[in-house]
Amino acid sequence: MRAAKVVAREEAMARRASARHEGSGAALCAHVLRDAPPPPGAVVAGFWPMGHEIDVRPLMRALAARGHPLCLPRTPKRGMPLDFRAFAFGDAMAKGPFCTLQPPEDAPRAVPGWLIVPLLAFDRAGRRLGYGGGYYDRTLASLPGVRTLGVALACQEMELVPSGPFDAPLDAVATEMGVMRFR
Residue 76 sits in a domain of what CATH number?
Answer: 3.40.50.10420
pLDDT of the residue at 38: 98
Q: What does the alpha-carbon distance between residue 56 and residue 14 come to, in Å, rounded to a whole number?
A: 20
Reported as a pLDDT band with limits 50, 70 and 90, residue 91 is: very high
Contact partners, residue 173, CB within 8 Å, separation at least 6: 119, 122, 126, 128, 149, 150, 151, 152, 179, 180, 182
The DSSP secondary-structure symbol of 46 reads -
What does pLDDT average to over the chain?
Answer: 91
Q: What does the alpha-carbon distance between residue 109 and residue 132 come to, in Å, rounded to a whole number?
A: 25
Domain extent at residue 87 = 2-181
CA atoms within 13 A on the CB side of 183: 13
pTM for the whole structure: 0.91
Tell me the per-residue pLDDT of 19-32, one tens digit each, with 9 for 90 and over. 777 889 999 999 99
Tell me how many domains the chain contains.
Answer: 1
